[in-house]
Structures are given as C-alpha cells and as structure tokens.
Structure 1
C-alpha cells in the first residue's frame, strides 16, 4: 500500500476475491470431497436465492467493506499502529456475540473489556505518525469485520439446520464479495468517479506480478483457515488466537519495515494480551 509500490487497495481486494473463488473452484473439480456441504447428499446445504440473500450476502458485504477499508488504512498508518488498533475488535465481537446468543454475558468479562479499551487507546495516543483518516478507516474495518465474523460463525457452526464447511464457505462467499466490488468499479468507470477506487496501469500490475501472486495465494490460505477456525471455535476465541499473529506482525514490521514505535507500546500491549487471555481464556 506504500506510495510508489501498489497503493490500490480496492483492486487488490477484488483480485483476492476472484482468484480465491477460482482456486476454490479448481479444488472442487479436483477433489469434491473437500466440499461436503456442496457434494455430500447427507450434508448438502440447499443453496437457494433466499439462502444467499439471507445468509451469504451480509457476510460478503461486511467482508468487502472490511477488506477495502483495512487495506486503505495502510496508506495512512504504520503496520504496528493498525495491529494494535485491531485489538479493540475483541470488544465489538464479544458484545455482538452476546446479542447473537453465541457467548454468555459476564460482568467480569465486561470489566476486563473496559481495561482492554483503555490499553488500546493508550497505544493509539502513543502513535508517532498519527492519522485521523487511518484511524477512521480502521475503525470502520473493525466494525465490518466484527459483523462479518458473527454472521460467518452463525452460518458455519451455530443455529439449526445443515451448515457450510470451510471450503464451501469460501467458494460461495468470495464470488459474491468480488461481484459487489466489481459493481463499485463499474460504477466508478461508467457513472461517477470515486477517489478511493484508483486503478493502476497494466504495466504496474505486470511489474509486480510475483508479489501480487504471493499476496493472492496468501489471502486464499488465510480465508480457508479463518473459516476452519470459526467452524470449530467461537468468534471471541478466534480473535484471541489472533493475538499470536498480531505479535508476529508487529515484530516483523519493526524489523523489516523499520516502523518507528514507542517503547511504552510494548508494555501496554503485553498488559492488554495478558488481560485478554485471563478474562476470556480458551
């Protein structure tokens, strides 16, 4: 997302969606048994128009918003700052999980959530390169990601009736997500020019073809793993497990991208992580 590299988040996310759909489609042809919700008569889910509108469209819509705004935020803020901002996702997801009946309400956990919010915003105040635009984009992404996680968890593991398996979920959700983004691109070209839908030249895409291919492959694996986690774990457990990933991302951004960070961040983030695992232990 850095200027001079590939600062085109909208196109990048659209490529993720369509190529993930393609990879999942190839897997379906090669090994149909990996998609029991689509191929096993005993486990098959009836994929009707109403099912897609009721179950899949909310996931795809929230996912598209989350991916675009999250990638756009990298144009304004450091990786470490955004990862620490994402730690507040646990608050939103816990509250949504309680409303959806996935988690039980606990006063002790609410108190711990307050401590987490304070720790998160202390990290925000310590940012050396603060950007309000980046903050608002990441906040929008966090809300959309929380809603998408709840909807996807309900579609994969909770409620009555047959449920989608992880790969079937990717195969059904990603094309619809890509279609929504493609509609915005068509609107950008044929109706009204949108500043956030900037497009690169074909030469830029060809020049970065290797990096883009690796990025797309990583996105496919990540989406499958997320679906697998939500099939087995609760949304809160999934977010907490992501703390390990976040630590790795912050460390790598410091070592490889040389992000400037205040030493106090590490103390606050460590306290946050300890509080999170203590209050919502798996």
Structure 2
C-alpha cells in the first residue's frame, strides 16, 4: 500500500516538474517571439523608425528595474571593483550595444522571416571568432558544417524577393558583434569566476550599453528626429511593451537554463525560429519563396549537426563546474539572450 502511494506521489512530482519545465519553454518562446515582432512593428509600422532610440529605451528600463531590484534586496548582486568592471564588463557592453543597435536597425529593411534565416549563420561566426580568439579549436569537420550552413543561407538570400544590401549589412554586423561578445564572455567573465545572474547582468551591463548608444544616437538619430518632428510619433504603449518584454525575456532565459538541457533548448530555439517565420508571413505578409525555404532547410540541418557534434564532444570531455553554462547559452540565438532582441 505504501509502495503504491509512493509511486503515485513520484508520478505526480514527475508530471508537475515536467509541466513547469515545458511551461518555461513555452514562456521563453512566447517572449522571444513577442520582443522581435513588437520591435518590428514599432520600427516599421508605428511611425518610429529609430532603432537606436528603441534600444536606448530598453537599456534605460532594464537598468532602472535591475537597480531597484538589487537595492531593494530582492536580488543579490556580485560585487565588482572598478578595475574589473572596466577591463571585463565594459568591452562586453560595447559589443552588446552594437549587437542590439544593428540587429534592430535590420528590421527597417528586412522581413522578420529573412532575418531569422540570416541568423542561422551565427554558429559560423562564433566558430570563426572562437578559433581567432582561442576559445574554439579548429576542426575540419566543424569547418565543413560551416560551409553547409553558409551555402544554405546564401541560397535563402538569393531567393529573397525584397533583398536589401544595407539591411543585410546591419544584420551581419549584429551577428559579428554578438559572436565576439559570446567569446569575450567566456574569456573575461567565466575564466575569472565572475558569476552574474540576469538581473546583475543588466545592472552592470545595461547602463554601459546606454552610455555607448548615446554617441551614435546624438550623431545619427537625434538630428533626424529634430529635423522631421512632424513626420514621426512616439508609440509610448508599444515602447513600454517592448521594454517589459525584453526584461521578462532575460528572466525566462535564466529559468530555462536552470531547468533544461542544451539539447532541449536547441530544439526550443528551432521551434521559435520556424514560428517567427510563420508569424512574419501571417502578420506582416512577408513573401517567402521555395528557394528560401530550401536554403534555410539546408542551413538548419547544418546547424543541427554542428550542435549535435558539440554536445557529443561536451559529453565525452566532462568539464569542471563553471559559473555559467556557456554551451547552453551559445545554443541560443542572439535575440534569445539577454535583451537580446
């Protein structure tokens, strides 16, 4: 009798934990898609074509909320002296601000669907930057995977009906800066044992990002905003929704990393990417050709095989405990991580 009760209790606990885990996955997919779709709407359809200003509102909101949470004692902070902050955090913040600015700017010229296809090149750039900075070892097999991904993305680009060179350059710049950021996180933070949760990450990085973005804002966007005051408006409600969603996305990434394996996160990322393509076609009428889908399918298979090889390698060579699981974080696309639009 006692054994049956224990089995039932164990079964209830299993299903409860499974429900919580899949709830976190659904929440992360939902928030990630929401941030991207709202940003696209604000920049393209709401009469506010200013990606730097949009990113500044995110950084200001996240900085303020993180400051309040830490000063109120809700979240513990990692103490960091000025020298460590300048040498280790500021370079990462500079790259992060570039990632967000350039990534948001791409929405002015490209569809969400095509941008998601271009993001399939992230493993290629992370691998190349990792080899350059010494965080990755060169492998002919990995390099062959990268060629497959690059060919697939090239085919998807060739099939894009509304191809825009400037938009592709913005998105490529975002991918490159994000690749360098990921490698520097590993070199500058994990190697020194600095542990930052999502709130403390925003507490330290978001203000620096805001400061970095003020320079291009004052040179690029502010003169344009002043010159065309009657041609644009501030969609305050949409901007607030975008900022709240971006902050919530940071929290959901932390929850997901804590409860899921890298493989689960990768599968969830695939579902999110295909969902965004579908939403882009459905909500914004983005044209997607058969050649694009075939090319993206080839790139997708290359990325899956690359991730599988990375996971197999990680299992064969157990690493010591680290403050943050880089492998899990690297499997998420740039718009799925911290702000991470």
Please give the TM-score of this superposition, normalised by the length of structure 2.
0.68
Q: What's the counterpart of residue 59 of structure 1?
A: 92
**Aligned 8 A contact 2:52 2:221 in 1:** no
The structure with the larger Rg is 2
Structure 1: segments with no counterpart, 5+ residues: 39-43, 189-193
**Aligned 8 A contact 2:57 2:239 in 1:** no
CA distance in 2, matches of 1:248, 1:220: 21
Deviation at 1:196, TM superposition (A): 8.0
CA distance in 2, matches of 1:101, 1:236: 25
Q: 1:243 to 1:169 in 2, by over 3 A?
A: same
CA distance in 2, matches of 1:238, 1:53: 32
Partner residue of 1:124 out of 132, 140, 157: 157
Structure 2: segments with no counterpart, 5+ residues: 1-42, 312-341
User: Is 2:193 the counterpart of 1:161?
Assistant: yes
Partner residue of 1:82 out of 112, 115, 123: 115
Q: What's the counterpart of residue 124 of structure 2?
A: 91
**Aligned 8 A contact 1:62 1:148 in 2:** yes
Deviation at 1:165, TM superposition (A): 2.6
Deviation at 1:177, TM superposition (A): 0.4
Q: What's the counterpart of residue 14 of structure 1?
A: 56
Select between 220-229 and 110-119 the one with higher mean Cα deviation: 220-229
User: Is 2:260 the counterpart of 1:272?
Assistant: no
Deviation at 1:118, TM superposition (A): 0.4
Partner residue of 1:249 out of 276, 280, 290: 276
Alignment of 1:146-185 (within 5 A): 146-156=179-189, 158-185=190-217
Deviation at 1:150, TM superposition (A): 2.0
CA distance in 1, matches of 2:188, 2:260: 13
Cα root mean square deviation, aligned: 3.1
Please give the TM-score of this superposition, normalised by the length of structure 1.
0.81
Q: What's the counterpart of residue 105 of structure 2?
A: 72
Q: What's the counterpart of residue 219 of structure 1?
A: 246
- 1:22-74 per-position Cα deviation (integer Å, ceiling 9, x unaligned): 11122223443x33xx2xxxxx44x2222122111111111111111111111
**Aligned 8 A contact 1:14 1:178 in 2:** yes
SS at match of 1:204: coil
**Aligned 8 A contact 1:96 1:150 in 2:** yes
**Number of equivalent positions:** 264
**Aligned 8 A contact 1:254 1:260 in 2:** yes
**Aligned 8 A contact 1:9 1:68 in 2:** yes
CA distance in 1, matches of 2:44, 2:295: 27
Select between 120-129 and 264-273 the one with higher mean Cα deviation: 264-273
Q: What's the counterpart of residue 263 of structure 1?
A: 290
Q: 1:61 to 1:235 in 2, by over 3 A?
A: farther
Partner residue of 1:199 out of 219, 225, 229: 225
CA distance in 1, matches of 2:244, 2:147: 37
Tell me which protein shows more helix as a share of its residues: 2
